[in-house]
Amino acid sequence: MPTRVELGVWRSFLRAHARITRVLEAELIAEQRLSLAAYDVLVQLAEAPSTRMRMTELADAVLLSRSGVTRLVDRLERAGLVGRERADGDGRGIVAVLTPLGAERLRSASTTHLAGVAEHFGESFGPGELEAFGRTCDRLASDDVFP
């Protein structure tokens, strides 16, 4: 069982994450008419080799279920931001592909999102705190903690 301190810090971490993501999402929707999940899909595709990813890999990268990613990619495809193609050498596999319009939309939305990250996250830390927090998060995210 967690100690009282561990449980308190855990709850604080969850509240902080929820608050920051709500604020960032609200800004993206208000200024760019784009959800945070959609922005994340566009970022993942932009950073992928050849700006394409298998749908299963995309679901893992954005922490959505496969059906959730499928529905989101459906909406992004209708908006012209993402396309779908058959995976090379695999008749059943589908890849999501960032379109030129999707790349343009990502560039525009990044201005809003990155300003929000700096304001609502980065500016909350004092000297040395951000680096320490980053090391802690890296440790929690590593395969050594949760293989």
**What's the mean pLDDT in 1-6?**
96
Q: For residue 127, is pLDDT > 90?
A: no
* Structure tokens given for 28: 């993206």
Which residues have CB under 8 Å from 136's CB, separation 6+?
A: none
**What's the mean pLDDT in 10-36?**
96
Query: Quick check: helix, strand or coil at residue 22?
Result: helix
Strand runs labelled E in the chain: 52-54, 82-86, 94-98
Determine the distance from the C-alpha atom of residue 26 to the mean position of all C-alpha atoms in its chain, rounded to a whole number: 15
**What's the mean pLDDT in 5-33?**
96
pLDDT band at 146 (very low <50, low <70, confident <90, very high): low
